[in-house]
């Protein structure tokens, strides 16, 4: 019985899925790294006193959050062609850009909410110490706000990781695409997709458990 299992497609598919799992993690981390930078800028921009800046940032957030990520991926890959921008964007670059742009809209709200949640007295205390508005934000407000951002940022990691499955439409060799390539040849979608789901769970469950532990530790 054990030999039958070891020789089944549940096991045979793993050499094809493991590289896809690596691409899934790599694209998620790269996209979220850029997404956090962009999201922090947009989130702080939404708090700006200048209506043009806050309006533009709000428009960006609403547009990205109001459209499907799949449409965003296809727009970057198939819409921004050589005829439009002068060059074609390859699938890997498209993937990172799409994850970054999509995640940034949600991260912007996380940043805005965290900064906004800091008591007004903290801002006043910084100014009373002779700090400028930028210095108050950098040394007093931002460290406290970042602590509150960590749990929702972790949740965004899990969401973005699962959203990488949408990249299969542009033939990026992430986990789901690797599984589809395998079962298209072996005609074993049941076994293959069970293993695909299990590998996703192997990534998301530890992340979720760690986030719960972190939330209790930070008490936020």
Number of domains the chain is built from: 1
Domain of 188, in residue numbers: 2-218
Q: Is the pLDDT of residue 9 over 90?
A: no
Residue 5: per-residue pLDDT: 58
CATH number of the domain within which 103 lies: 1.10.3720.10
- Section 165-189 average pLDDT: 94
Specify the range with the lowest mean pLDDT, choosing from 13-17, 84-88, 175-179, 188-192. Answer: 84-88
Give the burial class of 143: count Cβ atoms within 10 A of its Cβ; 0-12 exposed, 13-18 middle, 19 or more buried.
exposed
Assess whether pLDDT exceeds 80 at residue 131.
no
Residue 3 pLDDT > 70: no
CA dist 87 → 20, 22, 53, 114, 118 (Å): 27, 28, 30, 39, 45
| Average per-residue pLDDT for the chain | 89
| 25 pLDDT above the threshold of 90 | yes
- What is the structure's pLDDT at 195? 95
Report how far apart, in Å, the C-alpha atoms of 165 and of each of 18, 123, 179 are: 15, 42, 11
- Model pLDDT for residues 135-144, shown as the tens digit of each residue: 777 778 888 8
């Amino acid at each position: 019985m054990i030999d039958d299992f070891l020789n089944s497609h549940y096991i045979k598919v793993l050499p094809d899925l493991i590289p896809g799992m690596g691409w899934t993690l790599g694209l998620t981390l790269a996209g979220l790294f850029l997404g956090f930078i962009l999201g922090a800028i947009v989130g702080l921009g939404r708090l700006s006193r200048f209506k043009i800046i806050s309006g533009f940032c709000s428009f960006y957030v609403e547009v990205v959050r109001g459209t499907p990520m799949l449409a965003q991926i296809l727009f970057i890959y198939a819409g921004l062609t050589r005829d439009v921008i002068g060059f074609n964007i390859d699938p890997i670059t498209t993937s990172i850009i799409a994850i970054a742009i999509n995640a940034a809209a949600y991260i912007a709200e996380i940043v805005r909410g965290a900064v906004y949640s800091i008591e007004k007295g903290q801002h006043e205390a910084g100014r009373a110490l002779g700090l400028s508005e930028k210095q108050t934000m950098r040394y007093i407000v931002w460290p406290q706000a970042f602590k509150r951002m960590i749990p929702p940022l972790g949740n965004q990691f899990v969401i973005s990781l699962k959203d990488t499955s949408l990249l299969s439409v542009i033939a990026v060799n992430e986990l789901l695409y690797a599984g589809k390539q395998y079962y298209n040849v072996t005609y074993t979608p049941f076994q293959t997709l069970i293993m695909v789901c299990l590998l996703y769970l192997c990534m998301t469950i530890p992340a979720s458990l760690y986030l719960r532990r972190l939330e209790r530790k930070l008490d936020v």
